[in-house]
A and B are shown apart, each in its own frame.
Chain A
Amino acid sequence: MSVGLAIEAKGLFKSFDGKPAVRGIDVAVPEGSIYGILGPNGAGKTTTLRMLLGIIEPDQGWRSLLGHERPLEAASIVGYLPEERGLYPAMTTREAVAFMGALRGLPLEIGRKRAAILLEQNGLGDYVDKPIKSLSKGMAQTIQLFGTIVHKPKLVVLDEPFSGLDAINQGRLEHLIRDEAASGTTVIFSTHVIHHAERLCERIAIIADGQIRFEGLVAAARDRLRPQVRLKTRMAEGKWRAALPAATRLDGGYWHFELPRGGIEPLLKALIDGGAGIEELSIERSGLHDAFVAIAGEQAAKELEADMQADLGEAA
């Protein structure tokens, strides 16, 4: 077991009917972190998670889940919310949550009590004895999430947890993920929505076409791109123009260029000495979206955008 890692995987490879779905994936998820796997649909996120959990076996590679090379051995301290939500429609919400806990070794009686508490705490107390089939999709999804955490796991794995949720439920879910992490639980989730990963995660893996293109801190992903400088000057021409980088472009009255390697100070001095007349100057750090485009490529970014639009449509 690698000390401090909730999940570790090396060289995971999986193909279906001869077609590679995941090609040599390495993952290292630190204990207690919120970790995101970001990529468009079909990139291999779900297959990776299912291999990590032991639902399917990799064709090649090695993985360890909370120190267990056979993931089912850690089943009682892992919670999993699959991409395709699954609940028995006739079960009551309390029984559904307790049953999912029982599958992970939690005694039914305790599961029922905790289910009632979870439902009460989240404003769903009136639904304790209501059957799943009578709930809205968002509510049912929330119930399944409670079932994922009812046994107080050390690791929570969520596959596209925000998919199909409206803004209110998305906010509730973000809150819940942060709470879990605050209590020391490791949370790993897959998503094709960049801002969820950006807001929640300390570390991410960017996956495209079955391969990890980036794995590390969110800040490190952003740092793949130089910060962008936006400058507005009173004067249009002057000797100071020579100080601007070669790839500078003028757009809407603003000069746009990457922050020079030497920093902003030499440029500022040249602008002031050259009489450019600085009206506005801002240095903007790259967002994760720009980093994603730079790392995964335009095509993957377009697919990601399409998935997000489809998701918005579904939630609406």
Chain B
Amino acid sequence: MMSLFEAAWVIARRDFVAQVYSRSFILFLLAPLLLFAFAFFVGTMADNSDRLANQPVVALVTDGGTAEALAAARARLVGGTSELAFPVLRRVPPAENVAVQARALLANEDEGYSAVLSGTLARPVLTGPLRVDESSGPRVMLIVDAARRTAALEAAGVSAAGAPLVRDVTDQAAGNLQMLRRVIAQGGQGLIFVVTLMLATLLLSTLVEEKSNKVIEVLAAAVPLDAVFLGKLIAMLGISLVGLALWAGMLALGYTFVQILQDWVTVPDVAPAVGWPIWIVLLLLYYTANFMLLGALFLGIGGQATNIREIQTISMPVTLLQLMVLLLAMTVVGGEGGAAVWTAYILPFSSPLAMVAHAAQYEALWPHLLALAWQAVWIVLIIRLSARLFRTTVLKSTPGGSFFGFPRFGRGRTESV
């Protein structure tokens, strides 16, 4: 007898082979690379433009000693924070009338000064519009204060250099560990989200091919629609796992290559609460669950569309839905309970994302058994609902058969050529 899963396997095998041997699969494999390249490009451009355009420049119209003291103070402050945290100080030799010079500098569009700092450390003068009091003004004052403190200490014969720090190294710090585990949790959620997002349109449009080719009638006459839906989901899952394996392999290779170049190999010293091996297994299981849940829903929705244009129209609300689910699941990261966290655990669509974060932060394993069983039930329900919706609205038929009854359909013959 041919079971539902055997029939689904026939569909899955066809879809998998067709997809893997298509040109679009190369693009799919390159997608993360393009995504990273895009992010890198945008990040670099944004960084550069920030530096060039957004960092305020303050003209330093003081005597040489004051200017040097201020520059040294700024350098110390920047060393503990970042270059972008403090305005750039650019020295301008003072003219006879500093007040007039300051206004002239502020009016010069080519130089682009935000403010002018003049006077001495004892009596600094900041010239500029009111806005400066809320932006670069307070930070300029931090520099001035630091310079004054240094000058005072040196005047008293005390070294201005910081006290030498004695480091006592421990394996971990609880706060650090929690923070890094939250990063792992968010990383797991992000990975699942991004891969599912990349496949959403493919899932939405997968039944359009069968409808436009009229193959759906051939399939519907031979196997239950549940098997068609399940088969398509398995194929897409297989395709995504091939992609994941390839990307993970490339990342691992790249990481190892960099480590070898540096002549030493390290592994991260922070592990998820359940440990790396179990977490990776859980990540794959929750990825599968998330994919099947959203995939079944998208197949159901996409099955209603008649062409690619309709799919494109549906894509946007579907992406927004995925984002909302991610945002809900993110409440689990660092969350201590509450309605939102429990909703994230229980709601079938956010449950896998929430639980992968849970695994990174908490050691207990039994909630995962419960969650996976819960998600499996919903996968079955959504596939059945989607198939029945398709049968009713597209094939114009009453669903037929019990919602909870699973079809078996027979072969019962041995075959020879």
Report A's interface with B, CB cutoff 8 A.
16, 50, 53-57, 59, 70, 72-78, 80, 82, 84-91, 99-100, 102-107, 110, 113-114, 117, 144, 147, 151
Contacts and interface: CB of A to CB of B under 8 A. Distances in A.
B218 A80 contact: yes
Nearest to A53: B221
A76 B411 contact: yes
Contact of A103 (B18, B213, B216, B223): B223
B396 interface: yes
A90 B214 contact: no
A84 B220 CA distance: 13
Contact of B10 (A73, A102, A147): A102
A65 to B, nearest CB: 11
B401 interface: yes
Interface in B77-113: none
A56 B396 contact: yes
A68 to B, nearest CB: 8
23 contacts: A16-B396, A55-B220, A56-B391, A56-B398, A57-B398, A59-B398, A72-B409, A73-B409, A75-B221, A75-B222, A76-B410, A80-B221, A80-B222, A84-B217, A86-B214, A88-B215, A99-B14, A103-B10, A103-B218, A103-B223, A104-B222, A110-B416, A114-B417
Nearest to A157: B221
Contact of B417 (A59, A74, A113): A113
Q: How large is the interface on B (under 10, 10 to 19, 20 to 34, 35 or more residues)?
A: 35 or more
A111 B227 CA distance: 20
B37 interface: no
Contact of B409 (A53, A55, A75): A75
A87 B399 CA distance: 25
Given A57-B397, A57-B400, A72 B217 contact: no
Contacts of A74: 409-410
Contact of B401 (A50, A70, A82, A151): A70
A76 B214 contact: no
Contacts of A76: 2, 409-413
- Interface centre among A72, A78, A86, by most B CB within 10 Å? A72
A118 to B, nearest CB: 11
Interface in B359-417: 391, 395-401, 407-413, 415-417
A88 B18 contact: yes
Contact of B7 (A82, A103, A151): A103
Contacts of A104: 222, 411
A125 B17 CA distance: 24
B217 A106 contact: no
Contacts of B214: 82, 84-86
A149 to B, nearest CB: 13
A99 B223 CA distance: 13
Nearest to B413: A76
A105 B221 contact: no
Contacts of A113: 417
B219 interface: yes
B221 A82 contact: yes
Given A80-B218, A103-B218, A110-B417, A75 B223 contact: yes
A76 B10 CA distance: 14
B218 A82 contact: yes
B22 interface: yes
A70 B407 contact: yes
B2 A55 contact: no
A102 B408 CA distance: 16
Given A72-B223, A107-B415, A117-B417, A90 B18 contact: yes
Interface in B1-45: 2, 6-7, 10, 14, 18, 22
B119 interface: no
B224 interface: yes
Nearest 3 Cβ contacts at the A-B interface: A56-B397, A86-B214, A105-B411
B215 A103 contact: no
A77 B413 contact: yes
Contacts of B410: 73-76, 105
A276 B399 CA distance: 70
A300 to B, nearest CB: 24
A144 B399 CA distance: 27
A86 B212 CA distance: 9
Given A72-B409, A88-B14, 4 more contacts: A74-B409, A75-B409, A76-B413, A151-B415
Contact of A89 (B210, B213, B417): B213
Contact of B222 (A50, A73, A103, A107): A103
Contact of B213 (A88, A105, A114, A117): A88
Contact of A86 (B22, B218, B223, B397): B218
B209 to A, nearest CB: 8
